[in-house]
Amino acid sequence: RAPIGKNLVRGCVRLNASVVPSKFSAQAMTMRAFSAEQRKVYGIHAHDGTEYLKDDKSGDHVGRQQNHIWSAEEIDSELKSLYRHKPVTISDKFMNFVMSTLFKTFNFVTGYKEGNATVKSIEWRLIVLESVAGVPGFVAAGFRHFRSLRRLQRDHGWIATLLEEAENERMHLFVCLKMFEASKITRLAVLAAQFTLAPTLMLVYLVHPRSMHRFVGYLEETACHTYASIIEQVQRPGTPLHEGWKDLAAPETAIAYWKLPKDAKWVDALKCMFADECHHRDVNHTFAELTPTEPNPFVLKHKRDAMYAMVLEKEGRTAWPSAEEIANARIDKAIPA
């Protein structure tokens, strides 16, 4: 009998022998079964008696719901092109009103002051925001999945984009959790938000899918403006965020996920999250304009993203050069051949 392939481990964050069917128990391949060399390649480590993949491996999404790897130029372009969708239909205006009300309430509860926010208020805000932002994509993907099965019809690429969006938001959350801890109050807020938002969005998507996508588009607009404000404050001397975050290194999960240089800062990860939110904004506003049977115009992007990520990995390159590489390039340019 052939052993279970070692590639099984690549997509797993945690794997216990108990989840392997009993008929395979004699040859069950847990992470402990790997050689020292394989453990090094896959980045397997132990914690509290359980084997896990290290952050730089679990953050690497090449080959599984690949995210877009942003260049510095793309991020700068997004920062210069923020926009607000102007509501047209009655449902647009209603969803914009709902989002505006939620945004103002959220600002009050989190103590958020645009332009001069405290570190603690942003930590709280990002955890709650990203835990909520991962809900709509999964809800919409689930509905379209069952619709495709029920009608025996193709989905034309929507599910892939929606699932990648949900996974992308979930990765935002766990990147943030690598930087700061969630308090008990924050955890309760996350639970309350999820138990409220999930059934509400399910009901809206059941009745009028376009309205939910428009709502998410407005939600992502607020996220874009929030991240842009945070980035500006981190880079502006004299603000609490500049004092607290200007020298923080990006976590390994973020470096692996966005293929950042090893010397990347926390603000670089924030810029990538900002760019992701801009893309989600555009996707959902586009979906709000389409009928459920129209093809997803973003579907080919996933293949391009995956191919580009694989090229970077194969060549050992990153999304942009490190500070050391930039300095060396300047020296090489200054020295005559």
pLDDT in tens, 248-283: 999 999 999 999 999 999 999 999 999 999 999 999
Query: Is pLDDT larger for residue 8 or for residue 53?
Result: 53
Query: Which pLDDT tens digit goes with each residue over 173-218?
Result: 999 999 999 889 889 989 999 999 999 999 999 999 999 999 999 9
User: What pLDDT score does 8 carry?
Assistant: 37
| Residue 91 sits in the same domain as residue 35 | no
Mean pLDDT computed over 53-57: 68
| Residue 76 sits in the same domain as residue 202 | yes
Mean pLDDT computed over 109-118: 80
| Residue 43 sits in the same domain as residue 137 | no
| Residue 148 sits in the same domain as residue 184 | yes
| Percent share of the chain, pLDDT over 90 | 62
User: What pLDDT score does 241 carry?
Assistant: 95
| Percent share of the chain, pLDDT over 70 | 78
| Residue 181 sits in the same domain as residue 114 | yes
pLDDT grade, residue 18 (50/70/90)? very low
Give the global pTM.
0.81
Lookup: tokens for 102: 């939620």
> Is residue 86 in some structural domain?
yes
* CATH number of residue 150's parent domain: 1.20.1260.140
> Is residue 128 in some structural domain?
yes
| Residue 48 sits in the same domain as residue 92 | no
Least confidently predicted of 102-116, 146-160, 292-306: 102-116
Given a cut of 70, whether residue 125 has pLDDT beyond it is yes
| Residue 84 sits in the same domain as residue 205 | yes
| Residue 95 sits in the same domain as residue 212 | yes
| Residue 31 sits in the same domain as residue 139 | no
Mean pLDDT computed over 41-57: 65
Query: Which pLDDT tens digit goes with each residue over 131-141?
Result: 999 999 999 99
| Residue 90 sits in the same domain as residue 136 | yes
User: What pLDDT score does 324 carry?
Assistant: 74
pLDDT grade, residue 42 (50/70/90)? low
User: What pLDDT score does 53 carry?
Assistant: 64
Query: Is pLDDT larger for residue 312 or for residue 322?
Result: 312
Mean pLDDT computed over 110-118: 80
- Count up the domains in the chain and report the number: 2
Boundaries of domain holding 155: 72-296
| Residue 35 sits in the same domain as residue 127 | no
Query: Is pLDDT larger for residue 7 or for residue 316?
Result: 316
User: What pLDDT score does 31 carry?
Assistant: 47
Mean pLDDT computed over 125-147: 95
Query: Is pLDDT larger for residue 319 or for residue 47?
Result: 319
User: What pLDDT score does 27 carry?
Assistant: 36
Looking at 281, 296, 311, the residue that finishes a domain is 296
